[in-house]
Amino acid sequence: MEKRGTTGDKLFNSLTELTSTGIIIYQDNKLVYFNKAAQNIMSSPGGGLRIGMEIWEIVHPDHRTRAREFALRRQRGEKVPSRYEVKVLCEDGTEKWIDFAAGLISWKGKTAVLGTAVDITSRKKYEQELYSSREKYKMLVENLNEIIYTLDKRAVITYVSPNIRALSGYTADEVKGRSFIDFVHPDDKGERLQQFIKVLSGNIEPSEYRFLKKNGEYVWIRTRGRPLIKGSEVVGVQGVLTDITDLKEYQQELLRSKEKAEAAEKAKSAFLANISHEIRTPLNAILGFSEILLDQADDQNQEKLLRLISSGGKHLLSLIEDILDLSRIEAGRFDIQPHPASIRAIMDEVNMIYFEKAESKGVHFYMNISDNVPETVYIDESRLKQVILNLVDNAVKFTSQGSVNIEVSFFYQNNKKGDLAISVKDTGIGVPEGDYGTIFRPFHQQSNQLNREYEGTGLGLPISSRLANLMGGNITMESKTGEGSVFTISIPDIPVINNHYQSKKPGIERYKEKFGSSTAMVADDSPASLELLCHLLENAGMDVVRAENAKMAFELLDKERPSIIFIDIMMPDIDGFQVAARIRENPILENTPLIAYTALSDDQIPGDKRVLFDDILHKPVSGAALFSILEKHVRGDEATEYAAETVFEPQANPGEFAGKVGDITSERTGELAELVSLLENEYLPVWKVLKDQLVLFRIKEFASRLGELGREKRFSILVYYSDRLNKDIEDLDIDSLKDGLLLFPVLLDFLKKHLASFG
């Protein structure tokens, strides 16, 4: 053993060299003994500590003052800590923490200090890191906007971060140990307890409730919690709270603003509906009787005056239509209703309207329809026609010499759909470059026509552009002042229908021949509108029964059995909807076609009321629109031929539903009975209307309602049937759709038989 100072006690040396604890002895603050462990702890092995060195040399400068103070006090016999932690400076410049314990001994007959040293550097480093981590956590917790909390399984608060005070006025100590339910608004307590139980079970969905402040007020908070787990046991809940009072107030303000906007929109819609009705009704009489008088006029001067009346009335009607269309589009209440239509038929009508008008101005009118344009496509015919007519009307109006050229092209993506492009090119006044950005804005007229040389409201192009957008397309413009313009309508992804649609335009004599044995009833409180429609129906050879109000209509229907009934919607006392509902309840009349005769637009008629009618005849009425409805709904003397054209048999059979009955069990007899009653009383009447009309968007509404009913009531057979109809509509498989539609009574009978089998 290496000797560390002079001692005769070999046993002492042996024992001190065997221990891992550093041992030093110093007298008069000078080192007189140290063992090997002390050498290793306080310096590099083999050097560093020296006999006779000042003890302060190994103490870190930051701790020397305190070490000297302890030494002096010990020498004076004062009480000092026998154990403390001190930082030492090793020979190689590294710093270490020592757990140092000291006591007085006798060494060579003189008083000395015996010290033990244990290296605690690693522990001190860990403590420092832990302290730093805790400080960071504390700072984070105290400065978070969110409040951290823990609850035990009884919902008692076991911890809450100090920033609870900023939210509630309570200190953390005031809150801890109390049930969090104590701080929940009475109206929210039941829901919060349920949420607490869910969180214990693992549901971590956030929830919102009102929290009681110390001053008695409530704040809105959002909480997110998760189970608190120790080992494998759930011992409570931990989570965070966020003050959302400002957000709630903002949401309430938004809600109030929304309600005000909806009320204003409702008032606006009511105003537009009323003004539309009040203006259209007299216009209906003006235009209708002008048309009748023109047919009867012999005097050229009278004919000229009648044409001026008719022209002014049509211009006013056009203005009303434009304003109403723009209002509905901007309110998001304008629906596109595609159906099978002929592009060529639309363009023939455009050509018929504008060819003579253009040529009379000395402007050549050309139209070229590409050979590959399909005969029939699936599109909203009336809206496409409206857009084309607006563009062609502008081209003819603003062109005084030269030509108007219309090009119609179709670019197939495959044999089922393609892209339609219609360009209208003119050699008119053109659009100034400064107006490019505003030409599609409502009520804007280009700067070179402010002298009112050209009539118009500036609504045609904005409405056309928006309609094109609603159909999935757009309108582009190329123009140069003084040279002309090119407006192009592009509508992509238009479905092509293989079976062709052919429109019939029979003459008045054919109508008389066809409808001569039929009777029509007209119920309208407006004498002018009543007289006009009756006159047109009589011209078609029909017998007409007139009712000036709803009461008279009911009285006449007790005696008459008309082939078709026209009902004004906005009659006083009993409106047209109530009349239609009463008629539908009459088993003798339930299949008689009911036509809404109205100045309202389609979107102003509620959907649940619309199904009461088979069709709509809009005021002002035209002969073409009336005869189109008669062709569709009155069979007359051609009933046999008509039926042969429209009757078809389903190709499927009830076995199609056999695999869809897994959820139809005897335990659900009551639910099945309720479903059968609902289908029979509410859905079957709608189906009876749909099966003859084959209007795709209405069939889609019917199918969607059935699907929602099936999911709500948990009857998968309805979901299956709904999906079948929707797929046929998406694929435009008209034949399959007809078969599927006729399966509805088969499905109803199938369910009835199952219900009977449970009896």
For β-strands 377-379 and 218-230, DSSP reports them as: unpaired
pLDDT tens, residue by residue, 603-616: 778 877 888 898 89
Helices 669-678 and 744-757: crossing angle in degrees, nearest 10, is 150
Comparing CA positions, the residue from 39, 7, 48, 2 lying closest to residue 20 is 39
**Token couple for 29:** 């603050």
Dihedrals phi, psi of 11, to nearest 5 degrees: -65, -40
**CA of 725: how far to CAs of 380, 396, 705, 740, 743, in Å?**
20, 45, 12, 6, 10
Which pLDDT belongs to residue 552?
A: 92
- Report which listed range, 130-134, 232-236, 273-277, is most confident: 232-236
Which pLDDT belongs to residue 29?
A: 83
Q: Count of alpha carbons within 13 Å of 13, Cβ hemisphere only?
A: 11
Element at 644 (helix H, strand E): helix 639-646
Residue 737 pLDDT > 80, yes or no?
Answer: no
Which pLDDT belongs to residue 745?
A: 86
* C-alpha dihedral (168, 169, 173, 174), degrees to nearest 10: -90
Q: Which residues of 89-124 are buried (b: 16+ CB within 10 A; e: fewer)?
A: bbeeeeebbbbbebeeeebeeeebbbbbbbbbeeeb
Which pLDDT belongs to residue 331?
A: 64
Which pLDDT belongs to residue 420?
A: 94
Comparing CA positions, the residue from 757, 714, 721 lying closest to residue 741 is 721
pLDDT tens, residue by residue, 140-163: 655 566 888 999 999 999 999 888
- Report which listed range, 316-325, 448-457, 630-639, is most confident: 316-325
Residue 225 pLDDT > 60, yes or no?
Answer: yes
* Average pLDDT estimate for 684-695: 72
Residue 173 pLDDT > 60, yes or no?
Answer: yes
Task: Identify which has the larger pLDDT, 689 or 505.
Answer: 689
User: Which of 9-18, 586-595, 701-710 comes out lowest in average pLDDT?
Assistant: 9-18
**CA of 731: how far to CAs of 54, 416, 496, 724, in Å?**
100, 9, 10, 11
In single-letter form, the type of residue at position 274 comes to: N
Which pLDDT belongs to residue 642?
A: 33
Structure confidence at residue 759 as a pLDDT band (50, 70, 90): low
pLDDT tens, residue by residue, 202-214: 887 888 999 999 9
Separation of alpha carbons 430 and 212, rounded Å: 70
Separation of alpha carbons 377 and 337, rounded Å: 13
Structure confidence at residue 512 as a pLDDT band (50, 70, 90): low
* Average pLDDT estimate for 516-543: 85
Element at 393 (helix H, strand E): helix 381-397
Q: Give how far the C-alpha of residue 124 lies from the chain's centroid of Cα atoms, to the nearest Å.
A: 59
Structure confidence at residue 372 as a pLDDT band (50, 70, 90): confident
Question: Mean pLDDT over all residues of the chain?
Answer: 80
Task: Identify which has the larger pLDDT, 457 or 54.
Answer: 54
Task: Identify which has the larger pLDDT, 43 or 743.
Answer: 743
Which pLDDT belongs to residue 426?
A: 94
Which pLDDT belongs to residue 655?
A: 54
Burial of 559 (0-12, 13-18, 19+ CB in 10 A): exposed
Separation of alpha carbons 104 and 123, rounded Å: 28
* Average pLDDT estimate for 665-688: 85
Separation of alpha carbons 56 and 89, rounded Å: 10
Preceding omega of 620 cis (within 30 degrees of 0): yes
DSSP string over 637-688: GGHHHHHHHH----S--GGGGGGG-TT--GGGHHHHHHHHHHIIIIIHHHHH
Separation of alpha carbons 338 and 420, rounded Å: 15
Comparing CA positions, the residue from 384, 377, 340, 484 lying closest to residue 425 is 484
Residue 639 pLDDT > 50, yes or no?
Answer: no
pLDDT tens, residue by residue, 537-548: 887 788 999 999
**Token couple for 346:** 């639309």
Residue 451 pLDDT > 50, yes or no?
Answer: no
Structure confidence at residue 696 as a pLDDT band (50, 70, 90): low
β partners of residue 411: 419
Which pLDDT belongs to residue 741?
A: 84
CB 719 within 8 A of CB 711: yes
Percentage above 90 pLDDT, the chain = 15
β partners of residue 89: 95
Which pLDDT belongs to residue 649?
A: 38
CA angle 693, 699, 702 (to 5 degrees): 130
Q: Where are the alpha helices (DSSP H) in 417-569?
A: 460-470, 508-515, 527-539, 550-557
DSSP state of 169: S
Which pLDDT belongs to residue 37?
A: 86
| Residue count (the chain) | 759
Residue tagged 């104590």 (tokens): 182
Which pLDDT belongs to residue 487?
A: 93
Q: Give how far the C-alpha of residue 229 lies from the chain's centroid of Cα atoms, to the nearest Å.
A: 39
Residue 34 pLDDT > 70, yes or no?
Answer: yes
Which pLDDT belongs to residue 452?
A: 47
Structure confidence at residue 594 as a pLDDT band (50, 70, 90): very high
**CA of 142: how far to CAs of 156, 160, 166, 651, in Å?**
22, 11, 10, 74
User: What spatial distance separates the first Cα and last Cα of the chain, rounded to whole Å?
Assistant: 107
DSSP state of 52: T
**CA of 364: how far to CAs of 121, 358, 361, 395, in Å?**
102, 6, 9, 12
pLDDT tens, residue by residue, 259-315: 888 787 677 666 666 666 667 677 777 777 777 777 777 777 777 777 777 766 766
Beta strands in 611-711 (DSSP E): 615-618
Task: Identify which has the larger pLDDT, 713 or 76.
Answer: 713
Q: Which residues of 352-383 are buried (b: 16+ CB within 10 A; e: fewer)?
A: eebbeebeeeebebebebeeebbbbbbbbbeb
Separation of alpha carbons 91 and 119, rounded Å: 15
CB 40 within 8 A of CB 67: no
Which pLDDT belongs to residue 513?
A: 63
Residue 489 pLDDT > 90, yes or no?
Answer: yes
CB 563 within 8 A of CB 634: yes
Structure confidence at residue 749 as a pLDDT band (50, 70, 90): confident
Element at 475 (helix H, strand E): strand 474-480
Separation of alpha carbons 448 and 431, rounded Å: 8
Residue tagged 């069939």 (tokens): 699
Which pLDDT belongs to residue 647?
A: 35
Separation of alpha carbons 367 and 584, rounded Å: 48
Compute the Cα dihedral for 278, 284, 285, 286 and give only its sign.
positive
* C-alpha dihedral (708, 709, 710, 711), degrees to nearest 10: 50
Structure confidence at residue 446 as a pLDDT band (50, 70, 90): low
Sheet of 543-547, strand order: 543-547, 519-523, 564-568, 594-598, 615-618
Element at 493 (helix H, strand E): strand 484-495
- Grouping H, G, I as helix, E, B as strand and the rest as coil, residue 373 is coil
CB 616 within 8 A of CB 596: yes
Separation of alpha carbons 594 and 699, rounded Å: 19
Percentage above 70 pLDDT, the chain = 81
pLDDT tens, residue by residue, 57-71: 888 888 888 888 877
Dihedrals phi, psi of 611, to nearest 5 degrees: -70, -10
Structure confidence at residue 139 as a pLDDT band (50, 70, 90): low
pLDDT tens, residue by residue, 71-117: 778 777 788 777 888 888 777 778 888 888 888 888 888 888 888 88
Separation of alpha carbons 473 and 454, rounded Å: 28
Which pLDDT belongs to residue 455?
A: 56
Q: Give how far the C-alpha of residue 741 lies from the chain's centroid of Cα atoms, to the nearest Å.
A: 30
**Token couple for 155:** 């919902």
* Average pLDDT estimate for 165-170: 89
**Token couple for 597:** 């005769």
